[in-house]
Structure 1
Amino acid sequence: MAKSKILFECQSCGNQQRKWLGKCPECGSWDSFIELKAEQIKILKELEHANSKASEAICIDEVEIEKFSRISTQDDELDLVLGGGLVEGSLVLIGGSPGVGKSTLLLKIASNLANSGKKVLYVSAEESKTQIKLRANRLEANGSNLFLLTELCLENIIEELHKKDYSVLVIDSIQTLYSDKVSSAAGSITQVREITFELMRLSKAYNISIFIIGHITKDGAIAGPRVLEHMVDVVLYFEGDATKEIRLLRGFKNRFGNISEVGIFEMGPKGLISAKNLANRFFTRGRATSGSALGVVMEGSRALVLEIQALVCESAYPKRSATGYERNRLDMLLALLERKLEIPLGHYDVFVNVSGGVKIGETAADLAVVAAIISSFKNRPLSKDSVFIGELSLNGEIRDVFHLDIRLKEAKMQKFKNAIIPSKPLEDIGLRYFVAKELSQVLEWM
């Protein structure tokens, strides 16, 4: 009699081993391995077989480019992040922390699509129909083509899909569903893998666009196996503090477009709305105060003027903290200030914050960060009519940045007068420029 194979799976990342381990070698979680049952191992083999069908190679010159049909979600910011609209038959995963507005946004989008003539099925495994209806009334998100279903079982959802000719399906959320084919609990690695695979098959077979809401872990990643993000077509993350109005929707994967675009939303009485005129919400134009400098960063194709705040105070046990800015980059800039400008920050606390909940992912804000730190250290306010743009190298050189003209045009639109930059722009934008090649020149200007 053949000996049955034993398989253990990590419930944090989905790593599989032939024997039980106390610590997962993939994600480092302790006591996360559980033994899979025979039915679960059988499902895994079926999934592997479905994904390993042999195909014949053809010459790249013979490949015909497939044309994707897009539909507008009636929301400019979401269409921008999706690459121009929702692709029919695509599988879109949206993640974010609790209370950030994932369900609110998708209910509004479902209503928009329903009002444009698409049949939409909104499936909630966490709320009752009454709760969803109350929110829909508040958001003004009702429509005759929008259907609600409160269901936990995947098979029942599929049965409902076959009853009507639905074009869009919204799942809220993937971690709360379960399939009768899998005996493990809802939210387990095996359940999420099986359900996502089945939804992917449905989206391609019936040309249904599917939105999936995913919970995130304390580290900010989508809860569940990493294969979840690999299987879907688009991965979007909501960023922002649930206690503040501004939310950012950032793309991390998009098979139908680029991932450089960022959508900006504002949470109001009627839910999340596109922030079309919120370019001036990330900085203040009041009285000049020390420890505040303005910079211009690129978020996709759009330039944003941001306020960088810094607080430097003497301390016996110095601390370094950064919100919205990379901590390692901050340590490098502080070392640069001590070495090149001989500013003794070794006995000072340094705190840096980016207003509006934006996370800076580029180096063009280096000059603004340094200016805010020096301003706080010297207790010298900076002009609210000036913006700082430039990347700092380890030898104190201020380097050019990409899209300088676009950044300066945004500064001019926001009625700034001065710009401290590493080189003159190709065209005259109408600002007064102070060209600085070395960090010491900026200190002279201040």
Structure 2
Amino acid sequence: MTLSLPPDTTVRTTGPRLPADPERWPDVARLPRASALRTAVARRLVESALNRLPLRIRHGDGPRSLPAPGTPRDGVPTLTLHDPAAFHRRIGADGLIGFGESYMAGEWDSDDLVGLLTVLATHVDELVPAPLRRLRGLWAHRRPSGDRGTVEGARDNIHRHYDLSNELFALFLDPSLMYSSAVFDTLPATPDALTAAQHAKIDRLLDLADVGPGTRLLEIGTGWGELAVRAAARGADVLTITLSEEQRDLALRRIAAAGASGRVTVELRDYREVEGRYDAVVSVEMIEAVGAEFWPAYFTALRRLLAPGGRVALQAITMPHDRMLATARTHTWISKYVFPGGLIPSPDAISRESAAAGLDITYDEGFGDHYAETLRLWRERFLGDPDAVDALGFDATFRRMWELYLAYSEAGFRARYLDVRQLRLVAAGPDGEDAP
């Protein structure tokens, strides 16, 4: 027999948790149901795992260090548990979702959040003993069926992230408003290099797609219009599509301000609804929002929309195939709070799905270190003006959520858990090309 606590019971060892709006953040404001046994097992597993890593644990009621043997204390990130009981209870109930919600609730902190998360990402395969990984289904949640990337579901998923507020994104993005990895001349990057690096990224993609005067270009995923403007400056005729009304409206204003309205058309449209044939198709970090179930439809659309001799240029975040398969089966903190319905593909998945659709990959290059630097600059800008975030109506829980999202993503690239790649695809067979 196990003892369960009601979901709204607060268990504290030190200090108050950050108040969270129970209507907006119900699973942060209240602690989850978890048996005493499950919480105790989670605590033992977590402490055992963390004790083997190069980091320190400090409890809010006083220092308690658990450094890895032989690890120098200087430069080692610290995990400070303000509320150890709540921290372990959330993990016992909800795994890594609970880990993220515990941070949102202010139950733990770190003096080096990215460093801490990088350690965890680097040693992700060591955190849970191998025999227990087979029991993942006991604590991992299934993805909600409503998050599937159907035509209607995709619109809702995009709305929940990209329609948060144009002003919010403008707070941490550079003036190009590119929400994807830049390509820098040198690393580490400086803040004043970000816009030029975003333009360098765009130019590389347009070059891969051979965009020039008279090119009929389709962009899948408008963002805020910077790529379309830059393509129009080359003399291309651009159709760019988005599912975000907020992005569409601002993109139209930015395109008009750049004098590119005569060459750029912006439409609220799903990639499956586009008709016609295009000399070039460009899509920047959009495949991650499609969902594995719909990757065949995505690559089939790319092939269907490509004119003879045309090229597709993609920029895609990737992860190793085995980790992609594990992530695909579970509801994660990122899919719950940041990117509903999405899944980062593996290079193997992209290769398989593109080949099945009749597309050959003729160029493929990764540059994950550049994404880590891009995310660092975004995070520093976001954290640099909390009052501006508050003024937009976003509360402290949101700020901690967004900080964790940016730090978590940066750590993934620094640990090589994630990568970002630019690819060129052409039609297989007589409609394609033998590009070097």
Q: Tell me the TM-score normalized by structure 2.
A: 0.28
Larger Cα-atom Rg: 1
Structure ranking higher on relative contact order (CA contacts 8 Å, 6+ apart): 2
**Structure showing the higher strand proportion among its residues:** 1
**Structure showing the higher helix proportion among its residues:** 2
